[in-house]
């Protein structure tokens, strides 16, 4: 049994939260998340054995510098929100193709920061967040909201759901017509690494008419989160997790199976708000995820925790045992590998929190 708590205040509980997120907050939060708020091209550390990483920095830097200046109207007057910007030479978008953990999000956020435009004229979000925005605002209002932007960055472009892919493809077509530059990332499937531009070909095929607007950039390398670092720490004991939750200000404490049940009652667009003010997540009884729907919700939560740099301390099975072999061989395996990688990094961050 866990020992007596060592602090008076009980920890927070994610299961007790049911946040409401208004549409205007979804728009306002389309900026690089806290983990990537301070990144820049010169803080990206390329793997010296991977020249494609150096090349990506060079190409993206040039792409950003080409997005300066105001949109021009037909009358020759210069305004920010013209509907008819001058057509730039070359592709109007870039697509970063590579495995998980090679720094694509770092580079995408660096592009956002380097683009010479006011923050209100640049948007950054994941594919899931973009589809959630369309759901909250409606298609036409989303086009109107983003159509005056200089740049839209889409992290983790998904090819799993044909309906969502076609929806976003149509949205991007409208935004390109309005003069918005595009940048996107996606993960090469682990089983397809080394097979040329497999992910890029999939991406360009799925977005059909947008193909000519993108320049694919292949980024090779291994997962930087584990490059030269020690192995992930083993799971903590239930006693350690409980004591740490009570001893850490702003920590949450939840039973893992109950949290999975709660996630089914909260829309994934609210998972970021679910973690507002949480400084550490403590979980007891981690066990393999029972089904694919639950697993995909957990992936979204892992992404939001990673974006916000929230350490995760857990008891039970290690994070690399969360998803069964069938899941890791299936069509969503790129998401599961990413989640394992990110949760492992957050578990490493939590080592210093363990109460003595």
Domain boundaries, the chain: 14-19+229-353, 48-221
HSE on the CB side for 175, CA within 13 Å?
Answer: 32
**Lateral strand order in the sheet of 122-126:** 122-126, 151-155, 181-187, 93-98, 214-219
Give the Cα separation of 23 and 33 in Å (integer). Answer: 18
Out of 36-40, 86-90, 143-147, 248-252, which region has the weakest mean confidence (pLDDT)? Answer: 86-90
Q: Look up the pTM and report it.
A: 0.76
Structure confidence at residue 222 (pLDDT): 75
171-216: pLDDT as tens digits: 998 999 999 999 998 765 434 433 444 456 666 666 666 666 788 8
Cβ distance 46 to 57 under 8 Å? yes
Q: What is the mean pLDDT of residues 3-26?
A: 79
Confidence band for 284, pLDDT divided at 50, 70 and 90: very high
E-assigned strand segments in the chain:
71-72, 78-79, 93-98, 122-126, 151-155, 181-187, 214-219, 251-255, 280-286, 312-316
Structure confidence at residue 206 (pLDDT): 64
Structure confidence at residue 187 (pLDDT): 63
Q: Is the pLDDT of residue 230 over 70?
A: no
Confidence band for 27, pLDDT divided at 50, 70 and 90: confident
Structure tokens at 253: 């404490």
Q: Is the pLDDT of residue 337 over 70?
A: yes
Please tell me whether residue 244 adopts helix, strand or coil conformation: helix
DSSP letter for 237, please: P
Q: Report the CATH fold assignment for 48-221.
A: Rossmann fold (3.40.50)
Structure confidence at residue 84 (pLDDT): 41
């Amino acid at each position: 049994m866990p020992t007596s708590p060592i602090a008076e205040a009980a920890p927070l509980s994610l299961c007790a939260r049911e946040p409401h997120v208004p549409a205007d907050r979804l728009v306002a939060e389309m900026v690089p998340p806290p983990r990537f708020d301070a990144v820049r091209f010169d803080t990206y550390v390329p793997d010296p054995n991977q020249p494609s990483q150096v090349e990506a920095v060079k190409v993206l830097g040039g792409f950003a510098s080409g997005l300066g200046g105001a949109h021009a109207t037909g009358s020759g007057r210069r305004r920010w929100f013209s509907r008819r910007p001058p057509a730039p030479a070359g592709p109007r978008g870039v697509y970063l193709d590579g495995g998980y953990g090679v720094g694509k999000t770092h580079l995408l956020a660096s592009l956002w920061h380097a683009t010479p435009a006011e923050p209100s004229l640049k948007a950054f979000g994941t594919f899931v967040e973009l589809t959630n925005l369309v759901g909250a605002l409606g298609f036409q209002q989303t086009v109107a909201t983003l159509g005056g932007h200089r740049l839209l960055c889409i992290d983790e472009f998904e090819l799993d759901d044909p309906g969502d892919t076609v929806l976003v493809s149509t949205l991007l077509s409208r935004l390109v017509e309005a003069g918005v530059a595009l940048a996107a990332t996606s993960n090469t499937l682990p089983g397809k690494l080394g097979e040329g531009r497999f992910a890029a070909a999939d991406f360009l095929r799925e977005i059909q008419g947008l193909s000519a607007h993108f320049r694919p950039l292949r980024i090779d390398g291994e997962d930087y989160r584990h490059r030269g670092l020690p192995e992930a720490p083993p799971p903590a004991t239930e006693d350690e997790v409980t004591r740490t939750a009570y001893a850490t200000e702003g920590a949450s404490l939840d039973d893992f199976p109950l949290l999975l049940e709660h996630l089914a009652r909260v829309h994934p667009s609210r998972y970021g708000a679910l973690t507002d003010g949480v400084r550490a997540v403590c979980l007891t009884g981690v066990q393999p995820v029972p089904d694919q729907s639950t697993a995909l919700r957990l992936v979204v939560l892992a992404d939001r925790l990673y974006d916000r740099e929230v350490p995760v301390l857990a008891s039970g099975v290690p994070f690399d045992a969360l998803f069964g072999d069938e899941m890791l061989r299936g069509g969503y395996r790129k998401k599961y590998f990413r989640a394992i990688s990110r949760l492992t990094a957050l578990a490493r961050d939590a080592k210093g929190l363990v109460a003595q």
